[in-house]
Amino acid sequence: MDGRLEYRDPKKRDEVVELAIPILDFKARVVYNSRGEESIEVETSVEGAHGRASSPSGASVGKYEAVSFFGGNASRTLTKINSYKDKLVGLDASDPHSLMHALREIDGTANYSEIGGSAAYSFSIASAEAASNALGIPLYQLLLNGEEPRMPLPLGNVIGGGKHAGEGSPDIQEFLSYPRGTKSIAEGIRANIQVHKRVREILQEKDPRFSGGKGDEGAWAPNTSTEGALEALSEAISAVTDEVGFEIRIGLDMASTSLWNPREKTYTYSREGGKRRSTEEQIQFVLDLIDEYEIYYVEDPLHEEAFDDTHELTTRVNGCLIVGDDLFVTNTKILERAVKIGAGNGAILKVNQAGALGDALEFSELARKHRYQIIASHRSGDTIDANLAHIAIGTGATMIKSGVVGGERIAKLNELLRIDEFSFISRGKSMPLAKDR
């Protein structure tokens, strides 16, 4: 999609209204994320409304992501975005694509290193939210441009390892719960919470010394191996499946770039006594895990430049999503490369990886065109903003990865509940689930 958005009122399908909602002013400030790190927040004003957004940050960061801060510093980024106020005030808040082009023209780099990706993120989302508020519609509706909305299912991190949990925890970064058989977003959220609670009970049964410590995203951070974590999660999911009466599946985020030794060309598992796996051994290891634990979702099973290896793995699985995060970094050109060789069948969408909201919308359009499932994702250092819920629906995501517990995580899930309630009140029915797409 290029150029100005046209808003199609769902109640008047043939009526097209061209939008032009000029930005009157914006205010940027330094705030803090869930890890206590500095971030950029922007409030954008339009006539009769305003919007606000603050940028998250990741721990497992791909080297091709947008650069968060100008000069590596939030305060310098704040000064930089404010210095361009005369070029940004007056732009159309309702058009994420034109805002993206304006930001890229100001920045002049491929990765927003001049203006700061955190500023591009916050300004573009705050502006879109201001426009939707001025129109009296939800943000997701503005982004969908008349397309039928669908509710993504929650993908929740229940056991953490790697960079999210620290020494002694599993080598694999995230062990996830996915309520694939749920018939509503409310049931799906509740099921993930039940799995999270049951996992703690099982971990404490297996290790009475387990203190209930958590990692960055609210997942339990036990002193255990990959196998121990999978056994605990499998047991928890089996118990909760019996309680709720629908299918729940295991997912993994392996964050394999953090395991990859480029000099030795091996994946090193320190929790397994420093065991090294070659590329073929890593692929077989992943295949074995998928088979043994009936895993539905595997994110970054290979390192961030392993396109051919990811293609090979993708061709060897059936009924499992092979998802790129560090591999694609919400970058349209990188995804185009993956599409050509068939690397993966799912793509993480993180707006701050791309920079501006318009960049992420272009990425989602390409992913959907080539039938890659979209997983709209939080970051390990997140904020209490709920806009990810709207972005997930607005980009056609089939899943939303936003943790299970914790204020900054549950904010997104609670917003999905509000959206579903709004859908029921306005349309007389809940929003259909994206899994039915």
Q: Which residues pair with 264 in a beta bridge?
A: none
Give the burial class of 291: count Cβ atoms within 10 A of its Cβ; 0-12 exposed, 13-18 middle, 19 or more buried.
exposed
Say how far residue 434 (Cα) sits from the centre of its chain. 16
* Active-site residue, from 80, 129, 304, 350: 350
Query: What is the distance between the alpha carbons of residues 45 and 85, in angstroms, rounded to a whole number?
Result: 13
The answer for residues whose C-beta is within 8 angstroms of residue 258's C-beta and 6 or more apart is 60, 162, 163, 173
Give the burial class of 305: count Cβ atoms within 10 A of its Cβ; 0-12 exposed, 13-18 middle, 19 or more buried.
middle
Are 175 and 157 spatial neighbours (Cβ–Cβ below 8 Å)? yes
Q: What is the DSSP string of 396-410?
A: T-SEEE--SSSHHHH
Query: What is the distance between the alpha carbons of residues 175 and 160, in angstroms, rounded to a whole number?
Result: 6
Output the CA torsion sign for 174, 180, 185, 191: negative
Are 376 and 392 spatial neighbours (Cβ–Cβ below 8 Å)? yes
* Active-site residue, from 217, 304, 408, 415: 217
Query: What is the distance between the alpha carbons of residues 182 and 436, in angstroms, rounded to a whole number?
Result: 11
412 flagged as catalytic: no
How would you classify the pairing of strands 6-8 and 16-18? antiparallel
Are 29 and 173 spatial neighbours (Cβ–Cβ below 8 Å)? no
312 flagged as catalytic: no
Catalytic positions, please? 217, 350
